[in-house]
Amino acid sequence: NQIKHVSIEIGSRANIDLLSGGYTAVFLNVILIAIFFTATSYLLENKINI
């Protein structure tokens, strides 16, 4: 019973780590996309101005 409890605890911790890791990856992707769009729109504006 004790071993089962420990394995469940480790499993839930692993799940939390995976979830937080997934959220971090999504967050970084959103930031990268935002930077990409900002850069492309900035370049397009400069080309139009020229």
Burial pattern 32-41, b for ≥16 Cβ within 10 A else e, equals eeeeeeeeee
Which residue from 34, 32, 13 is spatially nearest to 42, judged by alpha carbons? 34
Tell me the domain boundaries of the chain. Answer: 25-50
pLDDT in tens, 1-50: 677 777 778 777 777 777 777 788 889 999 999 999 999 998 888 887 65
pTM: 0.52
